Amino acid sequence: MSLEHYKSLVAKLPLLKKEIAKVIVGQQEAIDEILISLLASGHCLLEGVPGLAKTLMVKTMSEALQMSFKRIQFTPDLMPGDIIGTEILEEDHETGKKFFKFNQGPVFANIVLADEINRTPPKTQAALLEAMQEKSVTYGGTNYVLPNPFLIIATQNPIEQAGTYPLPEAQLDRFLLYIKLNYPNEQEELDVLKGTTGSFRAQIDRVLSDEEIIDLQKLTRQVHISEELIKWINKLVRSTRPEGSPSDFVKEWCDWGAGPRAGQALVLCAKARAVLNERFAVIPEDILTLAYPVLRHRIAMNFRAEAENISTDQVISELLAVMKP
């Protein structure tokens, strides 16, 4: 691919954000992080209270990309077959012979919204996470490849935890980013009230095709990052581990820290953020911004920290304060 081709694709990314902004008011940080997950070929976990337009945000993005979109509402009685699909018995009308045909589940889409993933039992969660990791589904000994590009956005409600099945730490680690949605500010909320209670519906224009997204994903891995920044990322990730951390804060409040996958995720996401900002090289700001969504679900706090309401974000803040690039 020529440099001019890549530059023309990168120039479309601000237009993509502009199309999403026709429907979604504010939440720019969360939108950027979802797009970073897409460019880095990863998946993300989205946490926010009800009513913050999580579903609408993802659906709008899929429309601007003209990508197939499926939403799965996770419930306690959801089974793995409800996600990946199942075989159904059919009959050949000419011969009268009966045969089994695989009926694809909702996971066969470019963008899959796994709504309230913590409301379904571990067996069903594992089926989704296997599809995330392998980007394919095996049923009856046959392997079915999932669409490309493929992005899973799982949501969870931080308020009501009764009757939920929290994701184990090993499964949380499979998500590239853990994104937290905040309430809109006063002006944004006022704009939401004005814009969503009338008859006007914004028309979303297609900005990027599937093939162009795949090209951008290839470009992301080619973005330059200096040796010094890679060493700093490695040092930052290793400092989250209590046994060898130079930080007394980490030693006092953390049970265990992030693994090597966190460093890989931070490098890839920093490259994706550079592309999103129309750059072809990573700068320290990319790493500082993405350290929180990359690391917050990969650090385990001890019981005392949980009792004192000390969060993983505070750990990351402490480390970044003393470990500037």
Distance CA 129, CA 175 (A): 9
Q: What is the pLDDT of residue 54?
A: 79
DSSP letter for each residue of 87-112:
EEEEE-TTT--EEEEEEE-TTSSSEE
Mean pLDDT by 10 residues, the chain (325 residues): 80 86 79 92 87 79 86 89 85 78 88 88 84 84 87 83 71 88 81 74 82 91 94 94 88 90 95 93 94 93 89 92 78
Q: Is the dihedral of CA 132, 140, 69, 116 positive or negative?
A: negative
Q: What is the pLDDT of residue 45?
A: 92
> Residue 149: is the preceding peptide bond cis (ω within 30°)?
yes
Distance CA 159, CA 251 (A): 29
| pTM summary value | 0.89
Q: What is the pLDDT of residue 160?
A: 64
Q: What is the pLDDT of residue 161?
A: 63
Q: What is the pLDDT of residue 231?
A: 95
Beta bridge partners of 88: 101
Place of tokens 């309430």: 183
Residue 201 has phi, psi (to 5 degrees) of -130, 120
| Cβ atoms of residues 270 and 29 within 8 Å | no
| Cβ atoms of residues 100 and 58 within 8 Å | no
Q: What is the pLDDT of residue 323?
A: 80
Q: What is the pLDDT of residue 287?
A: 95
Report, in angstroms and rounded to the nearest whole number, the Rg of the chain calculated over CA atoms.
21
Could you tell me which of 50, 69, 63, 57 has the C-alpha nearest to residue 31? 57
| Cβ atoms of residues 118 and 156 within 8 Å | yes
Distance CA 242, CA 226 (A): 27
Q: What is the pLDDT of residue 1?
A: 61
